[in-house]
Amino acid sequence: MTQFQIFCDAHLGEDIFKLIREGISPHRLILPQSKGGSVLSVGPTDAGLFEAEIALGQPDAASVLQAERLRWLQVTSAGFTRYDTPEFRAAAKARGLIVTNSSSVYAEACAEHVFSFMLAQSRQLPLALKTRCASGSAPWNELRNASSCLQGQEAVILGYGTIAARLVEMLAPFRLKITALRRHPRGDEGVLTVTEENLAGALSTADHVVSILPDNAASVRFISPERLAQMKPGAVFYNIGRGTTVDQNALAESLHFGHLAAAWLDVTDPEPLPDGHPLLSAPNCFITPHTAGGHTNESETLARHFLRNFQRFVGNEPLRDRIM
């Protein structure tokens, strides 16, 4: 049997490396000389990468292409911007390099996160949690009247993949009218789909616009001043995709003018936003620090996802979350 060398530049903790070592045995785990990065940040280029047939982490894209022995790269995030270029795709295809990501590791947490945003907004939690007032008082009547029910409202989801599909399942009991933007609708989405040409109409009636767009050449500033203006007055914008997909100054303005009622963002550009950034002082702009995919024992979920794929790789079966 071939012995595979698996290079891992993600900083996962000793117990997780132990789990991986046991899971891949008798194959061999190679760790970089210097400490690895987080599961989201690019790791330092390390000689270990060039010995490996398999890499787990976020190795630098150019180094990946120079690593001639490499047959499979599993990216430790759902996003894979640094590999998503025509050049990388072409080179990977030419040499038969398989690339998988970890979207199924984060899909549940991401979908729950944006759903928590939608419900917190509907139930006015940020204001309600800091209001102490008596029943029947003016602030009480205002707060109750500003609270709403998701049931029967309209939502647009930008980007239809694993996370969106799970969100659609979660929203089913609320009987929303859901429209999803998808570049190439397949017809099996279970919700209405539109392509970019027909998006404006859907935006004009949606109460909730949820972006799960990845960062790529087509998505940069996708949420432009024009698209913000197409949204219904009082609509709420949510972003758990990537910060680069939004014209952030235009979003801040829309919130200041009161065109959008609120924005809930788990991603910004850059992260974190610098002091004085217009979104930090925009009214009803709620930001979490890129924690949508986070969950207890995340490194373990990630390792087990890799190990399941590793067994498939060894057995010549199709890998899960394959992106190239």
Question: Which residues make up the interface to a second copy (CB under 8 A)?
Answer: 11, 37-38, 40-41, 108-109, 112-113, 115-116, 119-120, 122-126, 128-129, 131-136, 140-141, 143-151, 169-170, 172-174, 271-273, 286-298
Of 159 and 293, which has the nearer Cβ to a second copy? 293
Q: How far is the CB of 29 from a second copy (least distance, A)?
A: 21
DSSP reduced 3-state for 274: coil
Of 24 and 107, which has the nearer Cβ to a second copy? 107
Structure tokens at 198: 């027909």
Q: How far is the CB of 173 from a second copy (least distance, A)?
A: 5
Q: How far is the CB of 274 from a second copy (least distance, A)?
A: 10
Q: How far is the CB of 289 from a second copy (least distance, A)?
A: 5
C-beta contacts of 42-45 below 8 A and 24+ residues apart: 42/82, 43/9, 43/10, 44/9
Residue 48 is classified by DSSP as: G
Q: How far is the CB of 269 from a second copy (least distance, A)?
A: 13
Of 119 and 218, which has the nearer Cβ to a second copy? 119
- Do residues 215 and 268 make contact, with C-beta atoms less than 8 angstroms apart? no
Nearest CA to 232 among 288, 153, 305, 289? 153
Going by their DSSP bridges, the two strands 54-57 and 208-211 should be labelled as: unpaired
Amino acid type, 56: L
Structure tokens at 160: 């239809």
Residue 183 is classified by DSSP as: S
Of 233 and 272, which has the nearer Cβ to a second copy? 272
Of 5 and 245, which has the nearer Cβ to a second copy? 245
Nearest CA to 216 among 193, 247, 242? 242
